[in-house]
A and B are shown apart, each in its own frame.
Chain A
Amino acid sequence: MSHRLQAGGRLIDRSKPVRFAFNGKTFQGFQGDTLASALLGVDQMLMGRSFKYHRPRGVVASGAEEPNALMGLGRDHSYEPNARATTTELFDGLEAETQNHWPSLEFDIGAINAKLSRFLPAGFYYKMFLWPRSFWKHVYEPFIRESAGLGRPPKRRDRDTYEHFNVTTDVLVVGGGIAGLTAAMTAGEAGAEVLLVEQNAHWGGRAPVDGAEIDGMPAEDWIAQIVAALQAMPNVRMRNRCMGAGVYDHGYTLLSERLSDHAPDAPGPRQRLWKVRAGQIVTATGAIERPLSFAGNDLPGVMLASAVRDYVVNFGVAPGAKTVVVTNNDDAYRTALTLKAAGLEVPAVLDAREQATGPLAEAARAAGIRVITGRGVAGVTGKGRVQVVEACRQQSDGGAVEAIEADCLAMSGGWSPVVHLWSHAGGKLTWDEADAHFRPDPDRAPKGASGDNFVRSAGTASGFLTTNDTLFNANSAGRAAAMSLGHKARNLAPEAAGEKRQPTAQIWLMPEHAPYAKRAISWLDFQNDVKVSDVELAAREGYESVEHTKRYTTLGMATDQGKLSNINGLAVLSKELSVPIPEVGTTTFRPPYTPVRMGAIAGEAKGVLFQPIRKTPMHDWHEANGAQFEPVGGWRRPYAFPKPGESVEDAVAREVNATRGNVGLLDASTLGKLIVKGPDAGRFLDMLYTNMMSTLKPGKCRYGLMCSENGFLIDDGVVARLDDDTWLCHTTSGGADSIHAAMEEWLQTEWWDWKVYVANVTEQFAQIGVVGPKAREVLDAVGASFDLSKDGLPFMGWSDGTLGGLPVRAFRISFSGELSYEIAVPASHGQALWDKLLEAGEAHGITPYGTEALHIMRAEKGFIMIGDETDGTVIPQDLGLDWAISKKKDDYLGKRAQMRTHMTDPLRWKLVGLETLDGSVLPDGSYAVADGDTPNGQRKTQGRVTSSYHSPTLGRGIAMGLVERGPDRIGEVLNFPALDGSPVEARIVTPVFIDPDGEKQNV
C-alpha cells in the first residue's frame, strides 16, 4: 500500500499539517505536498476513471505529464475541472473531487464500457454513428454529448481575476532545472537581460532526486548557491510557478504564471498571462519518462519509475511497500536504489536488455537487489491495484511467467526530451537511435526575424541524459544566446563527474511477441483509452500518416496531449507499417504546453472592461433619461427613450409622431467627421466619391457615395466645403475609422504626390439634429448669431456662428424629410447645447428620439442605410442612386468595377418599396419566391427585404427591398413566405412613402 514514510521528503514541512477534502472526506497532508503526494500518503491510490472505458486509474506520473489523476478543484465560483493532482499544490481547505464516474469513484456504472471494449475499437465513433441518418438527433448525438469530456464545466461565473503582463527582454530561459539555471547564469554573466521561468514552485528540477553532484557538491547545495547568485544579478529576473505555454513567431512567448492557485485568499489576480518578446529563447524544459506497453499497464500502482522516486525523495511518500522495477535503460535503477535506501522492498529489477552492465545496475546488485535481464512484464494482476507482477522473457509471447508479489510496479521506457516549445515555432527534430527519442536538431532551429536561430535547447531538453553533458550543453546554449545578441560570453560550464551509460533498448511492446489478448490491454494513451491493438487496427485499415492515426484512434488527443503516449504510439505504428520511426514522424506540437485557463487568456477584459464602449458627450443624459441603447460601430446610441411604463414600440411611435408633428432632438455625435485639406483635396474627393465634390461651393453641402474598388457601395454621407481647399466629409457612424484609414491608404500608397492632409475630428464635436416643422422656432428661441431663414441658410447649406452663446456650425441637411438642422458644437459643450435646445423646445413639445425613430423616418422617405440596403454586394446603381454618380468624371474608385457585365446586367435586383396587402410588417430579410427550383433543388427567389418597419406616420407596414428588375415592375404583387411557409403578399411600390416632392424639408 502507498503510505507516508517515517522520514524524508525534501519538499514537505512535517511541522505544518494541511487539511484537505477529497470526494467529501477530509484528509491530512503536509505543506509542500502536491494533491497527488498527499493522496498517496493516505493510501488513496485510485484517483480517477478513464474517459472511454471508465477504468479505475491511479496516478502514473509526478508532473505536468500526468494523464490519470485529473480532479475537479474548488466549488461554485472557483471550480476548475481537469486539474492535474500532480501539479496541484496542497493548501489548507483545498477541495478536490474525482471525475468521469457515476455514482462513485469506487463503483462506476460506466465501467460496463470496459466489458464492451471489443465493441468499441479504434474509429468506433466514425463507424458506429455513420447511419442511419435519422438516429443522429435522438440516439447518437445525446449519447456523444453525454459521454463527451472528462470534467464538468464550471456552472458559475469565475470569481477570480486575471491579468496580462507584457515584457520585452534579451534572453528568456524556460525551465529552472540545472540546465536552465546554468544557461541563465552564462547569459546573465555576459550582460544580457535574462528572464528565467520555472513551472514548479521549486528550482533545480530533478537533479536532487537523481542524486547528482555538481562542482563537487550535492545538487541541492549547488542549486541553492546558483539561485542565490542569480537573484543577486540586477539583469536577471526569475519567476517560479510560471509555465512556458507557447513559443510563436519572432520570439513571442506566452507564459502562464500561477499566483494564488495555491493560496486562494491572497489578494490580487489568480493567474497572470505573460506576453514576452524575447530576443533569444533557451528551452531547458527537461525530459519526460515514457511508460512501457504491457498487459495491465494501467492498473493503479503501475507508475513511472521516476515518479516513484520523486514521491519518495520529494514528499516522503512510498507508492508501495514492495516495488518491482521494469526498464529498458539505466535510469530506472536509481529508483530501485532510492527505494532500497528508504527501507522499502524491491523484489526485482526486470531489465529488458540481455545484459545490464552499467554502473547503476552494478550498484543495484551491490545493494542486494535481484536484477533479472532479458525480462519483461507479461502482465500485472490485482483487484483494483497491483498485486502480482508476472515476469517473462522479453523475447517471448509471455507464456512462461514467474509471478512476483508486489504492490507497485515502477516502469521506465526511456526518456523523451520535452521538445514542445522548440517545435511550436518551427524547430525540427531528429531521431536519436541510441537513446530512442526525438530531440531538437540544432541545425534546424526556429528562425527569427533576422534569419538567425532564436530558440536554443539546453540540457536534457536537447537529449543529453547525463548531468555533465547537460551542464555543458546548457552553458553552450546560454553563451550562444548571449553572443547572438552581441554580448561577449564566457565559458562557465559547471562540472559533474562523467557517467558511463549502457544504451537504452528500443522496447515498444512487452513481451516482444505478445499475443492480441495482451496487446488489447496494453495501454498507450491512458486518458483516452487507446491501446496497442487500436493503433495496429488503424494501420491495418490503411492509416499510414501519424496525424490521421492520431485522429482516428484519438491517441494523444486528450487533455495531456499525448505527453506520455505519442512516441510509444508512433513506434507501434512504425512497426505495423514496417517504416522506420523517423519516417513515420511525430504529430504537430501545438501550444499551450499544458492547458491555460480561459480567464487568464481574457485577462482584464471581462465585466465592464470586456469591450470598450464609446460614449457620446450626452451619454450620461441619455442614461439618466431612460434610453435603451444599441451598439453602433463601437458606440452605444439610444435606440429609443421609453418613459416609465411605456413600451419601446410605443416610445418609437411617439418619437416619430412628435418629430413629424413638432420637433425632435437627435444625438448624431457618432457621425464620422473627416477634414480633408490641401490643393489636391478636390481632386482627391472626386476619386473617392462617385459624384463630383470639387465643384461644390464653399458654404454648401452635397450627399455623396463611396465605393470600394470592387464597385460596391461602402459608405455615404454629406460633404460640406468649408473653404477653397478644405472639405468636411461626414461618414456613417460605423465607417469613420475605416474611411479615414482608406483615405490615408490612398494618399500614402497610390497618390502620394498629391498634397492632401486628412484629420479625423469625429470626437472633437458633438452633433445634434434639430428636426421637424418647429425646428427653426426652437433655434430662434435658443438664439442664433446666423440667419436661420430659408434663404439665409437654405437646404444643403451650412453656417458658422453661435447658438445660445456656444460656437457652432449648423448644417441644413435632413435624413428624415423634415425641416432639419444638424448642429456641430465642440464636444465639451455638447451637453450644454443639448440642455439649451431641450429648454427652448419645451414649449414646442421637443422630443428626444433614438435610432429606431431615425430609421423609420428615413425609410418612410426611401433613404437608404448602409448595412441595411447594402451588404457588400450592392452597387449604387442597384439602389437607384445613378443621380449621385458623376457622368463627367473619367475615374473614381469603383468605376471600372461597375462596368463589368455582371454589374450592368438588366436582371440585377434593384431597390423598390414594398407594401403588404394586409398592412402588416414584412419580416426583415425575407425572400420573394419565384417559380421553379434552382439546379440544387432550392426554390428560386426574385428579391429580398432590406428594411422593414411599422410606419407610425402611415399606420401600416412599409418596407424596402431589392427585387429583380424591381423598378420596372411597380404594382406587381410578390410572395414573401413567412418562416412557417405561409404566404405574405406585398406589392411593389416606389420606395418614397411620404412627401415625394420634398416639400416638408424645403421650407
Chain B
Amino acid sequence: MSDPLIRIEDASPMGMVTLRAELNDGKAASALAFSGLEIPAPHQVTGTPEKGVLWMSPDELMIMTLPDASDAMVATLNEAFEGTHSLAVNVSDARSAFRLKGRDALVREVLAKLTPADMRPASLPVGRLRRTRLAQVPAAFWFTGDGEAMLICFRSVGGYVFDLLSKVAEEGTEVGYF
C-alpha cells in the first residue's frame, strides 16, 4: 500500500545476550555496572537498543549490544560470574528486530491488531517491556519514545512478522481508537 499507517524498519542485526542468573544478590548488578549497564526493574528497559538491558523474567535479562559486541559481552559476563551459577549465551542470530515509527496512537493500533496485550499508553509507557503473543508467534516490544517502538521475535519467523505488521498497517485500516 502506498501510505501505510506506520513505518516498519528491519532493525536486525542487534547484538543480544541472554543472561540467566540470580538478579537480586548484587553480583549481577555489579557485573553489569562493569559494562556500563543497569539492571532494570521488573518489565523495564534500561539503556538503548545498542547498549541496554531488557528485563525478561525474575532470573533472566536480555543484554542488548552492537551487533559485533555480543561475543565480548558473553565473555565479560562469564568472567564476572566466574564461580557463580549463571548462564550467558549469545542469541543475536536467533532473533529478528523491527523498529516501528509513526504517530504514537497508530503504532499502538497496529500492535493492538495482533496482540492481546493492553496497548494503552498508561499500561505500556515508554521504557516498559511487554513479552506477549503477536498473532501466532511469541514477540516482545517496548516503546523507546513517542511513536517509536522496538519489536523482537525469533529469526525463523522474522519474515512472517514483517508481513504481518505490513498487512495490518495498510492504508485505510486506521481504527481511530487510541
Which residue numbers of A lie inside 8 Å of B, CB to CB?
A: 163-168, 237, 266-269, 272, 275, 277, 604-605, 608-609, 611-617, 635, 675, 677-679, 755, 757-759, 761-765, 826-828
Q: Is the beta-carbon distance between A677 and B87 smaller than 8 angstroms? A: yes
Is A166 a contact of B117 with CB atoms below 8 Å? Answer: yes
> Which of B20, B114, B136, B156 has a CB less than 8 Å from the CB of A763?
B156
Residues of chain A within 8 A of B168, CB atoms compared? 163, 604
Please give the distance in Å from A620's CB to the nearest CB on chain B. 10
B87 touches A678 (CB 8 A): yes
Q: Which of A277, A615, A679, A764 contacts B94 (CB 8 A)?
A: A764
**Interface positions of B (Cβ within 8 A of A):** 13, 18, 20-21, 59, 85-87, 89-95, 109, 112-120, 123, 135-137, 154-157, 159-160, 163-164, 167-168, 170-175, 177
A interface majority secondary structure: mixed
Chain A residue numbers with a CB within 8 Å of B20 are 757, 759
- The reply to whether B135 and A609 form a contact with Cβ atoms under 8 Å apart is yes
- Whether the Cβ atoms of B85 and A764 lie closer than 8 Å is no
Given the interface pairs A608-B163, A763-B94, A764-B93, the reply to whether A635 lies near B156 with Cβ below 8 Å is yes
- B160, A609: Cβ atoms closer than 8 Å: yes
Closest to B87 in A: A757
Contact A275 to B136, CB < 8 A, known contacts A757-B20, A763-B94:
no
Complex CA–CA separation, A747 to B133 (angstroms): 24
Residues of B within 8 A of A275 (CB): 116
B94 near A827: Cβ-Cβ < 8 Å: yes
- Whose C-beta in chain B lies nearest to the C-beta of A766? B93
A268 touches B173 (CB 8 A): yes
Determine whether the beta carbon of B112 is less than 8 Å from that of A166. Answer: yes
Tell me, rounded to whole Å, the shortest Cβ–Cβ distance linking B117 to chain A: 7
15 additional A-B residue pairs with CB within 8 Å, beyond A605-B135, A758-B87: A163-B168, A163-B173, A166-B114, A166-B115, A268-B174, A604-B113, A604-B114, A605-B136, A612-B137, A678-B87, A679-B85, A757-B87, A764-B92, A826-B92, A827-B93
B175: which of A165, A612, A679, A828 is its contact (CB, 8 Å)?
A: A165
CA–CA, A155 and B167, complex, Å: 25
Could you give 18 example pairs across A and B, Cβ below 8 Å?
A: A163-B113, A163-B168, A164-B113, A165-B112, A166-B113, A166-B115, A266-B172, A605-B136, A609-B163, A609-B167, A675-B89, A755-B85, A758-B87, A759-B18, A759-B89, A761-B91, A763-B155, A764-B89
A763-B113 CB under 8 A given contacts A163-B173, A678-B85: no
Evaluate whether A609 and B172 lie within 8 angstroms (CB atoms) in the complex, with A167-B112, A275-B116, A763-B155 already known. Answer: no
Q: Which residue of A lies closest to B136 (CB)?
A: A612
In the complex, are the beta carbons of B91 and A764 less than 8 A apart? yes
Would you list the 3 A-B pairs with minimal beta carbon distance, nearest first? A267-B172, A268-B172, A614-B156
Chain B residues in 8 Å Cβ range of A765: 93
Q: How far is the CB of B114 from chain A (nearest CB, A)?
A: 8
Residue of B nearest to A829 (CB): B93
Query: Quick check: A826 and B157 within 8 Å, CB to CB?
Result: no
Contacts of A764 in B (CB 8 A): 89-94
Report which of B87, B94, B114, B159 forms a contact with A762, defined as CB distance below 8 A.
B94
* Minimum CB–CB distance for A974 against chain B, Å: 43
B94 touches A609 (CB 8 A): no
Could you tell me if A761 and B113 are in contact, using CB atoms closer than 8 angstroms?
A: no
Residues of the A chain whose Cβ atoms lie less than 8 Å from the Cβ of B172? 266-268
Interface-centre pick from B91, B115, B155, B174 (highest chain A CB count, 10 A)? B155
Verify B154–A763 contact, CB threshold 8 A: yes
- Are A828 and B93 in contact, with the CB atoms below 8 A? yes
The reply to whether B175 and A616 contact each other, CB–CB distance below 8 Å, is: no
A828 with B13: CB separation less than 8 A = yes
Name the CB-closest residue of B to A267: B172
Which residues of A sit under 8 angstroms from B135, Cβ to Cβ?
604-605, 609, 612
Question: Are B156 and A616 in contact, CB atoms less than 8 angstroms apart?
Answer: yes
Question: A165 to B171, Cβ gap below 8 A?
Answer: no
Asked if residues A826 and B136 are in contact (CB atoms below 8 Å), the reply is no
> B171 → chain A, closest Cβ, in Å?
6
Cα A317 to Cα B63 in complex, Å, equals 69
* A612–B134 alpha-carbon span in the complex (Å): 11
Contacting residue for B167 out of A166, A272, A604, CB 8 A: A604
A266 to B172, CA, bound (A): 8
* Residues from chain B with Cβ under 8 Å of A757 in the complex: 20-21, 59, 85-87
Kindly state the separation between the CA atoms of A165 and B112 in the bound complex, as whole angstroms: 6
Cα A275 to Cα B18 in complex, Å, equals 33
Contact A166 B119 (CB under 8 A): yes
Given contacts A168-B118, A761-B94, contact A615 B156 (CB under 8 A): yes
Residues in chain A near residue B117, CB distance under 8 A: 166
CB atoms of B173 and A269 under 8 A apart:
yes
User: Which residue of chain A has its CB nearest to the CB of B161?
Assistant: A612
User: Which residues of chain B are within 8 angstroms of A826 by Cβ–Cβ distance?
Assistant: 90, 92-93
Q: A359 to B85, alpha carbons, bound, how many Å?
A: 84
Which of A268, A605, A613, A758 is packed against the most chain B CB atoms within 10 Å?
A268
From A613, A677, A764, name the one whose CB has the most chain B CB atoms within 10 angstroms: A764
Report the bound CA distance from A275 to B91 in whole Å.
34
Cross-chain contact B85 with A611 (CB below 8 angstroms): no
Q: Name the residue of chain A whose CB is nearest to the CB of B172.
A: A267
Q: Is the CB of B136 within 8 A of A166?
A: no
The minimal Cβ–Cβ distance linking B130 to chain A, given in whole angstroms, is: 12
| Most chain A beta-carbon neighbours within 10 Å: one of B89, B93, B163 | B93
Task: Determine if A611 and B93 form an interchain contact, defined as CB atoms under 8 angstroms apart.
Answer: no
Chain A residues with CB under 8 A of B159: 613, 615
Q: Which residues of A contact B120 (CB under 8 A)?
A: 168
* A610 smallest CB distance to B (angstroms): 9
Contact, CB under 8 Å: A759 / B91: yes
Chain A residue numbers with a CB within 8 Å of B89 are 675, 759, 761, 764
Residue numbers in B under 8 Å from A269 (CB-CB):
173
Closest to A764 in B: B94
Whether the Cβ atoms of B160 and A612 lie closer than 8 Å is yes
Minimum CB–CB distance for B78 against chain A, Å: 11
Task: For the complex, give the distance between the alpha carbons of A888 and B124 in Å.
Answer: 53
Q: Are B177 and A167 in contact (CB under 8 A)?
A: yes
Q: How far is the CB of A618 from chain B (nearest CB, A)?
A: 12
Residue of A nearest to B90 (CB): A764
Q: Is the CB of B87 within 8 A of A675?
A: yes
Contacts of A612 in B (CB 8 A): 135-137, 157, 160
Task: Say yes or no: A267 contacts B171, CB within 8 Å.
Answer: yes
Q: In the complex, how many angstroms separate the beta carbon of B136 from the nearest chain A beta carbon?
A: 5
* A827 & B155 in contact (Cβ 8 Å cutoff): yes
Residues of chain B within 8 A (CB-CB) of A679 are: 85
A165, A612, A617, A764 interface centre (most CB from chain B within 10 Å): A612
B160 touches A613 (CB 8 A): yes
Contacting residues, chain B, for A635 (C-beta < 8 A): 156
Say whether, besides A764-B93, A827-B155, A168 and B177 are in contact (CB < 8 Å). Answer: no
Q: How far is the CA of A762 from the CA of B94 in the complex (A)?
A: 8
The smallest beta-carbon distance between A647 and chain B, in angstroms, is 30
In whole angstroms, what is the CA distance A269 to B168 when docked? 9
Interface centre among B21, B87, B135, by most A CB within 10 Å?
Answer: B87
Q: A608: which B residues are within 8 A, CB to CB?
A: 163
The CA-CA distance from A757 to B85 in the complex, in Å, is 8
Instruction: Assess the B116–A166 pair: CB atoms within 8 A.
Output: yes
- B163 near A614: Cβ-Cβ < 8 Å: no
Instruction: Give CA–CA (A218, B22) in the complex, Å.
Output: 68
Contact A237 B123 (CB under 8 A): no
Looking at the assembled complex, report how far the CB atom of B94 sits from the nearest CB atom of chain A, in whole angstroms: 4
Cβ contacts under 8 Å, A677 to chain B: 87
Beta-carbon nearest neighbor of B117 in chain A: A166
The complex places the Cα of A763 from the Cα of B164 at a distance, in Å, of: 20
The residues of A that contact B86 with a CB separation of less than 8 Å are 757
CB contacts (< 8 Å) of A827 on chain B: these are: 93-94, 155
Report if A759-B87 is in contact (Cβ < 8 Å); known contacts: A605-B136, A612-B157, A827-B93. yes
B89 to chain A, nearest CB (A): 5
Residue of B nearest to A636 (CB): B156
Give every chain B residue within 8 A of A609 (Cβ-Cβ). Answer: 135, 160, 163-164, 167
B20 CB to nearest A CB, Å: 4
Report chain A residues within 8 Å CB of B13: 828
What is the distance, in angstroms, from A745's C-beta to the closest C-beta of chain B?
Answer: 15
